[in-house]
Each structure stands twice: as C-alpha cells, then as structure tokens.
C-alpha cells in the first residue's frame, strides 16, 4: 500500500500562493411569494435570454472562475498527470462489448486503437452453428462498420450518441446525436447498403425510435421549446418531417413522453409519466396509422409499465401494493378488471423490472436491499439465480434480441469483483462466461474486502452502507474515507465495481456508499420516506452514516471526502450546511442547490415534472417554507466551510449552469474560512460533463487531485 503522510487540517489557498478568487457583484433582487420576501443578490447570473446565453457579465464571471481553477490545476499539474496516467492504465486501449444477436446479424461496439468513442460493427450470424458461443465469434471477413462515433465527433468539443436503431429489414440505421450537451438531438437515417445518409433529418428529438414492421416508417419523440419531450410523431421515409402526423401529444407540462417496443415486437409502447403517475398506450407495429390504444387512464400515484409476450400483455403496477405486483391480461381485454396477478405485491420484495418472453418471464427485484434476478415459468414459483457474494450489483438483458431467446444475458459485479458478463441458459441453468473485465495495469481482488453495515439514523431507521477497503488499511480511525450517495427519484446506488475506486483504496482510503432514503434500495417506501416533506430524512441519513463510520473507527472527522451529483449535489449542499465539521473535502457535480428558485420557475424544462418529487412552492405555502428550510443556496450563512470543488455545464438543461454559479458566488461572500473553493464550468458541455472516455478520465484526475490536496494527503 502507498505510504501516506496525513494531517487532519485542510489546505488553505495561501499555501499555493494563488491569486485572489473572483468576486461576483451583488445586485438587489427581491420577489414575494405567499407574503414572504425571497432575496437573491445573484439572480443576475441567470442569463435573462436563456436558453440563449450571451450576457457578457455572466460569461466573464464564469470565465474568471474557470481561470481561477485552471491556476490551481496548473500548480498541481504533476499530480493530475500522474493520476490521469494511472486511471488510463486501467482501461484497455482496444475494448469491445459482448456481441449480441438480432435476427440475421450479430452486433458489437468497440474502441479501436485507443479511440475516444465507440465504433459499431456487425456481421452475418452463422446459420449452421449449434454452439451458443459460436454465433458470437468475430469472422475473419465479412465484418462491416455501420457507425463510427469517432468520425462523427471529429472536430467537435462534445459528442453524444442518442438513439441507435436498425430497421427490421436490417437495411437502415436511425441514429441521433447531441453536439453541445443540451440534449436536443438531431435524428438521421443511414442506408447501410450504401453508407449514405437519406434526406430524412429531424431536429429537436429526444428518446428513441421505434420502427414499423415494414421498415418504411418509424415513431420518434419531439421536445418542445422548454426541452420537454411531449410529442410522438410518425415519420414515413422520404417525406417532409414538418408534415409528420402527431400520434400522441402530452398537454400536461409535468409529464414527459417516451416510446419503446415490446419484447414480442408486435407493439409500440407510448408512455407518459411524472415520476409517480403514468399512462401507457400501445399500437401495432404493422400499422402505425391506427389510433393508440390506452391501457388504463392515469390516476394519481398509479405507476405502471407494460410488455407483451406469448400473446398476452403483462403489467408491472403499484395499484394494490406500493412494491408493485406483476399482472397479465389478454391482448383483446386490456381493462384492469381483466388483470390477473402473476406475482403478488410483497412487503419484502420490491419488483423493479421485468421482461415477458414467449414462454417465460424474467423478473428483477430487491430483497433486503440486494439485487435479485429470477425466472418465472408456467406461473410456478420464482426461480432466483444465485450469487456467492454478500454485496453485489446485477442486471439482465438479452443475448439475442427477439421474443423467445434461449439465453438471457447477466451483468454482474461487486465492489471487489470486476464486471462479468455471462449468458444464462433458460432451459438448463448453465452459465456461459462471455467477458470478464480486464485491467491492463493489474488487479488482485484478494487484496480487498467489502462488507455491508447498517447505520442507525436520527429516527432509529437502519440505513445500509456498502464499504470496501484494502485488507491492510488500518481500521483505527486514522484512515481517510471517501463517501458518496444520491438519494432521490427512487434511484438506487449500486455497489458495483469501478476501476477508479482502486485509486482511492490504494492510497489508504476506505470507500463507502450510503444507501439513504430517497433511493429505493429497501423498497418503494424507502423512496417515499425521502421525498417531499420527508426530504430531510435523506440528508440526516447521510450524516448519520458518516457518524457511524467514525464511531466504528473506519475514519475520523475531517478525514471524510464526500461527493454527489445533480440531486446528489443537493445532498452535498445540505450536509455541508448542517455538519461542516465532518468533511475534509467536498465535490459537487452539477449540483441542484438552488432548489427553491428553480421550483418556483415553471418555465424551466424540468420544474413541473419535479413537483411530485420536491413539492410545488408556487401553489403550496407549506412546500415553499419546507423547501426554503433546507435549500442549500438559501441556507448558506457566515461560518467556516470545508474545501469544495463545484462543477457546472453551460448547456445543461437539467441543472442549469446558474445554480452552481450562484451557489459558489454566495458561498465566497459568506464563508469565514480560507479553504479552497472552486467553480469549474464546462463551456461546451451539459449535465454529463465532457464526452470521450479519456477526456472524462482527465476531469476525474483533477477531482482526485483536488481531494488529495485539500485533505493534505501526501504520497511517496
């Protein structure tokens, strides 16, 4: 293990001989809601012509903050470069996904010759092979490149591939791309026989593409002027997209629309929801001109999804139990009165996903916070697939697309076990390992150990904490600890393998994930207990987890680095306000910290759909006061804060750039310490930061170096 010299003090900016940080002007701005004044001296940092961002004062401030961070990065350049090369050394220069079969072809994506982006290839599947593995053998000849993202990204600061969908006749590829991080995708169609693009080009799309059975037309989703996916349109190849008929239009700005295809490949699915209420329509793929058929009308807090297989529709629904049940109904009788339970709802089992094959159901669920996958055949008992480790992450897909594959694909990893992909034979239960993640610079799993602990929160509730560390790390309270969490939207933080975590572990860190309320690790109630007027449970769970880790001698106060992004950035902002004395360094990625102002602005893309999650302070004075009581930006005060690195994306439509910008500006004005504070804004990207696998690693290396420097951790 790397020898460390550590102190408990934070590093001040004076030790680096840095220039003074930028200071944003304070301009009076007051608004009144429910008879209460809301003062916001940094309101001007929101460009009033947004989504156009051209206010020179705003841009100059962001550039000044970036220059200040770049000054710091230059002073620790050697450390950043060392960490970058370390992280890069764990990636295979030429890496490929496990192939999957779809009809006549086998498809694969790969990185070639140290490339930044993926290349997508395919080849004809051998029709005379009886070996399940033989169909995935790459032939010496006959492989065709159907899309090369490196070519599409050439000369661009940012590139992201959106939808990628091959037509049923295998001749056409519909794909979309975003070139600035705004998540407004341009959709085009490529002729795979000639390599040429068709004349069909559609701007401002979002979501996927669902082809008609005859490959002559497809469904797609449009976003409106507020970036809300609200329309499904039907495009016939060769026609003007401006005239595409609207198949479905959502009138409620709080509902977002998406499309998919059933496993049977007989129906297109149109779904609209607002996180807790949903409505689903289906229409046959052999005639996309018919009116979509409603499954069941939206009812408050009724959430459901559907698939079709074996001639029936299957519905995952919370109509009788918050942890969901799985029901079945004939294709010609969709009304709820015809739904019969295949798997009843359960207090101990939270059903998270399913797929209806022609003769079986594949079901994923959680029990006691742990992922499970099971097979259901002939309505018998669930047959779970067993795994050896106590803490792990697992998911499923298909090795061969179609209504009745003989195998399903399983994706497995743990905090100490690299990602493993295997195919599970549905008839025999045999497992065929297809890929084990390789780490070129070396990895010895026997050096590390993981465990799951339960930390008691403020109200007595036990909160799971996943922990991993090197076996030679002293557990006497002297080790630094890296703690992360999310805690919103029912999204769970999986205890999965990451090559970057090794960099913390080999520097003597304990690495921990707090599975706090607001996620759904322990069931749907876990999510409900961390939203709306129970949001404080999320933040107090995290603080309680930190106290537990200190009490159990995993670490000590000021020895904890914490990180979260987006809604996880809300978490970072609140716990920094509530317990600043615990943290040695804080990294907030695109943090949602100006919660109250954003929830008061219904012109923003995500605000109406977020009200069921956070509350509507426009109409509800109680929601206004509750959000105000924890909103990180509004609750900043004059006191000492730990060292912090805050990131933003200028084109981010999810957490707009001015939230982190206003937060840092106000924090600079109020904080009474000399600890490091940085705002780094990606001027050509959005919510996910830079694109390209190596660009991502360089940003990550800067984050690592900031934390190590801020916590005064030196290494030989």
Q: What is the pLDDT of residues 484-515, one digit of tens each?
A: 999 999 999 999 999 999 999 999 999 999 99
The pLDDT assigned to 652 comes to 93
Contact 38, 596 (CB under 8 A): yes
Contacts with 671 (C-beta within 8 Å, 6 or more apart), sequence order: 638, 639, 640, 641, 677
Domain span at residue 248 reads 156-302
Question: d(Cα 360, Cα 355) in Å, to the nearest integer?
Answer: 9
* pLDDT given at position 404: 84
- Asked if residue 121 belongs to a domain, the reply is yes
CATH number at residue 79: 3.40.50.1820
**3-state DSSP call for residue 640?**
coil
**Structure-token pair, residue 39:** 């003062």
Q: What is the dihedral of CA 245, 297, 274, 268, to 10 degrees?
A: -40
Catalytic residue among 200, 423, 594, 652: 652
pLDDT at 511: 98
Query: Which is nearest to 340 in space by CA: 363, 372, 315?
Result: 315
* Beta strand pairing call for 407-413 and 420-425: antiparallel
Is residue 587 within 8 Å of 562, Cβ to Cβ? yes
Domain-located, residue 437:
no
| Radius of gyration, alpha carbons of the chain | 26
Please indicate, yes or no, whether residues 143 and 163 belong to a single structural domain of this protein: no
Strands 583-589 and 644-649: parallel
Low-confidence ranges of the chain (pLDDT < 50): 1-14
On whether both 629 and 534 belong to a single domain, the answer is yes
The CATH number given to whatever domain includes residue 256 is: 2.130.10.120
Q: What distance in Å separates the CA atoms of residue 242 and residue 204, rounded to the nearest whole number?
A: 12
How deeply is 236 buried, as exposed, middle or buried, from its count of CB atoms within 10 A (0-12, 13-18, 19+)?
middle
- Give me 249's structure tokens: 């239009």
Q: What is the pLDDT of residue 139?
A: 82
Within 10 angstroms of residue 436's Cβ, the number of other Cβ atoms is 12
In DSSP notation, 428-496 reads T--EEEEEE---TT---GGGEEEEEEEEE-TTS-EEEEEEEEETTS--SS-S-EEEE----TT------
Same-domain pairing of 100 and 79: no
Confidence at residue 9, expressed as pLDDT on a 0 to 100 scale: 36
pLDDT confidence of residue 6: 31
Last residue of a domain, one of 287, 302, 317: 302
Same domain assignment for residues 232 and 281: yes
Is residue 496 included in any domain, yes or no? yes
Regarding beta strands 510-514 and 481-484, do their DSSP bridges make them parallel or antiparallel, or are they unpaired? Answer: parallel
The verdict on 507 and 641 lying in the same domain is yes
The answer as to whether 311 is a domain residue is no
61 & 104 share domain: no
Q: Which residues contact 686 (CB under 8 A, 6 or more apart)?
A: 158, 178, 180, 181, 182, 183, 649, 650, 651, 652, 653, 654
Helices and strands (DSSP H and E) totals, the chain: 12, 40
The values of phi and psi at residue 106, to 5°, are -115, 135
**Considering only CA atoms, which of 382, 381, 437, 430 is closest in space to residue 411?**
437
For tokens 């990550």, what's the residue? Answer: 700
Q: Are residues 518 and 667 in the same domain?
A: yes
Residues in the chain, overall count: 716
Enclosing H/E stretch for 539: helix 535-551
Question: What pLDDT, on the 0 to 100 scale, is given for residue 216?
Answer: 98
What does the alpha-carbon distance between residue 29 and residue 639 come to, in Å, rounded to a whole number?
Answer: 24
Active site residue 566: yes
671 and 524 in a single domain? The answer is: yes
* DSSP 8-class letter at 704: H
Together in a domain, 469 and 595: yes
Over the stretch 301-315, which tens digit does the pLDDT of each residue have?
A: 999 999 999 999 999
Q: Which two tokens stand for residue 96?
A: 């490929």
- Select from 279, 302, 325 the last residue of a domain: 302
Would residue 687 show up in a list of annotated catalytic residues for this protein?
yes
Q: Which of 305, 566, 588, 691 is catalytic?
A: 566
Q: Does 683 reside within a domain?
A: yes
For residues 41 and 164, state if they share a domain. no
Please tell me which residue in 235, 275, 589, 687 is annotated as part of the active site. 687
Q: Is there a domain that residue 357 lies in?
A: no
**Does residue 290 belong to any structural domain of this protein?**
yes
CA 65-71-72 angle, 5° bins: 95
Euclidean distance between CA atoms 45 and 560, whole angstroms: 32
The predicted model scores a pTM of 0.94
Domain boundary among 302, 323, 346: 302
State the alpha helices, DSSP H only, in 506-534. 524-528
DSSP 3-state assignment of 625?
Answer: helix
Cα gap 147→156, rounded to integer Å: 17
How many domains are there within the chain? 3
Q: Are residues 278 and 165 in the same domain?
A: yes
Over the range 62-78, which residues count as b (16 or more CB within 10 Å of their CB) and which as e?
A: beebbebbeebbeebee
Strands 481-484 and 560-565: parallel
Catalytic (active site) residue 120: no
**pLDDT at site 134:** 65
Residue 471 lies in a domain: yes
Q: CA nearest 644: which of 1, 4, 21?
A: 21
**Residue 15 and residue 109 in one domain:** no
Peptide bond into 619 cis (omega under 30): no
């Amino acid at each position: 293990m790397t020898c460390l010299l550590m102190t408990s003090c934070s590093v001040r900016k004076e030790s680096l001989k840095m220039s003074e940080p930028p200071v944003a002007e304070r301009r009076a701005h007051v608004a009144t809601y429910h008879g209460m004044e809301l003062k916001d001296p940094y309101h001007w940092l929101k460009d009033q012509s947004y989504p156009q961002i051209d206010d020179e004062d705003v841009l100059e401030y962001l550039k000044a903050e970036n220059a200040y961070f770049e000054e710091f990065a230059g002073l620790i350049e050697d450390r950043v470069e060392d960490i970058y090369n370390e992280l890069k050394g764990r990636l295979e220069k030429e890496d490929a996904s496990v192939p999957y079969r779809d009809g006549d072809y086998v498809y694969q994506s790969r990185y070639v010759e140290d490339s930044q982006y993926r290349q997508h290839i395919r080849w004809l599947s051998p029709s005379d092979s009886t070996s399940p593995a033989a169909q995935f053998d790459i032939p010496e000849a006959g492989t065709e490149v159907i899309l090369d993202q490196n070519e599409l990204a050439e000369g661009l600061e940012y590139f992201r591939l959106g939808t990628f969908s091959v037509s049923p006749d295998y001749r056409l590829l519909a794909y979309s791309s975003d070139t600035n991080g705004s998540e407004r995708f341009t959709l085009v169609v490529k002729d795979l026989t000639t390599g040429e693009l068709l004349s069909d080009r559609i701007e401002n799309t979002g979501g996927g593409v669902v082809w008609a059975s005859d490959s002559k037309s497809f469904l797609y989703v449009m976003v409106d002027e507020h970036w809300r996916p609200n329309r499904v349109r039907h495009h016939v190849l060769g026609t003007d997209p401006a005239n595409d008929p609207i198949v479905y239009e959502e009138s409620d700005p709080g509902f977002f629309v998406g499309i998919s295809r059933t496993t049977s490949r007989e129906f297109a699915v149109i779904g609209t929801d607002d996180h807790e209420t949903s409505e689903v329509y289906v229409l046959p793929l052999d005639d996309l001109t018919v009116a979509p058929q409603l499954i069941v009308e939206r009812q408050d807090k009724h959430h459901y999804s559907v698939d079709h297989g074996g001639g029936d529709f299957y519905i995952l629904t919370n109509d009788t139990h918050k942890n969901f049940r799985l029901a079945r109904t004939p294709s010609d009788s969709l009304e709820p009165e015809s739904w019969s339970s295949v798997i009843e709802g359960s207090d101990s089992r939270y059903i998270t996903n399913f797929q209806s094959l022609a003769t079986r159901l594949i079901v994923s669920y959680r029990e006691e916070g742990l992922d499970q996958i099971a097979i259901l055949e002939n309505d018998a008992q669930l047959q779970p697939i067993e795994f050896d480790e106590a803490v792990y992450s697992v998911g499923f897909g298909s090795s061969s697309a179609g209504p009745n594959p003989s195998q399903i694909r399983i994706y497995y990893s743990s905090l100490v076990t690299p990602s493993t992909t295997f195919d599970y034979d549905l008839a025999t239960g045999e497992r065929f390992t297809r890929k084990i993640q390789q780490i070129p610079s070396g990895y010895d799993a026997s050096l590390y150990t993981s465990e799951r602990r339960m930390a008691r929160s403020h109200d007595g509730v036990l909160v799971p904490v996943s922990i991993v560390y090197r076996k030679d790390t002293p557990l006497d309270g002297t080790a630094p600890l890296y703690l992360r969490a999310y805690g919103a939207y029912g999204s769970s933080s999986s205890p999965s393998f990451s090559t970057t975590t090794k960099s913390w572990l080999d520097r003597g860190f304990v690495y921990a994930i707090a599975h706090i309320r607001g996620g759904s690790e322990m069931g749907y109630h876990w999510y409900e207990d961390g939203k709306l007027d129970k949001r404080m449970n999320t933040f107090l769970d995290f603080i309680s987890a930190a106290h537990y880790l200190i009490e159990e001698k995993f670490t000590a106060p000021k020895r904890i680095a914490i990180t979260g992004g987006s809604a996880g950035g809300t978490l970072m902002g609140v716990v920094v306000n509530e317990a600043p004395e615990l943290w040695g360094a804080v990294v907030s990625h695109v943090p949602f910290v100006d919660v109250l102002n954003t929830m008061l602005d219904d012109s923003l893309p995500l605000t109406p759909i977020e009200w069921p999650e956070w509350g509507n302070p426009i109409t509800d004075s109680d929601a206004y006061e509750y959000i105000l009581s924890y909103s990180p930006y509004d609750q900043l005060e004059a006191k000492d804060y730990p060292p912090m690195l805050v990131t933003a994306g200028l084109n981010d439509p999810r957490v707009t750039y001015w939230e982190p910008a206003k937060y840092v500006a106000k924090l600079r004005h109020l904080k009474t310490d000399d600890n490091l504070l940085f705002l780094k804004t990606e001027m050509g990207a959005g919510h996910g930061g830079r694109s390209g696998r190596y660009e991502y690693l360089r940003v990550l290396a800067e984050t690592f170096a900031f934390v190590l420097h801020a916590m005064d951790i030196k290494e030989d």
